[in-house]
Amino acid sequence: MSAHLVTGVTGLVGGAIALELLARTDAHLHCLVRGDSAAEAEQRLTTALTAAAVHYGRSELIDQLPRRVTALWGDITRPLAGVAAPPAGIEEVWHCAASLRYEERYREEILEQNVAGTVNVLDLARAA
């Protein structure tokens, strides 16, 4: 079975892509999720994907979540996206995490997440 790394799964675009990957492939998804702990990241992931599946009319995918989706506790703003041990066997990376703020007052957040965050995810992808 192939494996993919997906960021931004708790958001609108990342959640939709994760559901499409579940529907169209047999891949296992390692989903980078922020949280105060690994358990909180896992809960955020399950809650977000369950809600997305209901919202997008893909409730049949909910039963697949426990066996095909794993929360990878991390944060794109940290080196290697904050992941201590990158998962092995990643074949594809789907980077959907981003700040969607586009006002000048959010410049630092935008740069940290959308520029430095992408570099950190690329470094994680190379490590995996």
Residue-wise pLDDT tens for the chain (128 aa)?
799 999 999 999 999 999 999 999 999 999 999 999 999 999 999 999 999 999 999 999 999 999 999 999 999 999 999 998 889 899 999 999 998 888 999 999 989 899 999 999 999 999 98
Structure tokens at 99: 């700040």
Question: Which residues, in sequence order, are CB contacts of 100 under 8 Å at separation 6+?
Answer: none
Question: What's the predicted TM-score (pTM) here?
Answer: 0.93
DSSP code, position 123 = H
Question: In this predicted structure, what is the pLDDT of residue 52?
Answer: 97
Question: In this predicted structure, what is the pLDDT of residue 1?
Answer: 75
CB atoms within 10 A of CB 124: 26
CA distances from 109 to 75, 89, 99, 103, 121 (A): 13, 31, 7, 10, 16
Question: In this predicted structure, what is the pLDDT of residue 118?
Answer: 96
CA distances from 90 to 14, 50, 52, 62, 66 (A): 17, 24, 24, 23, 19
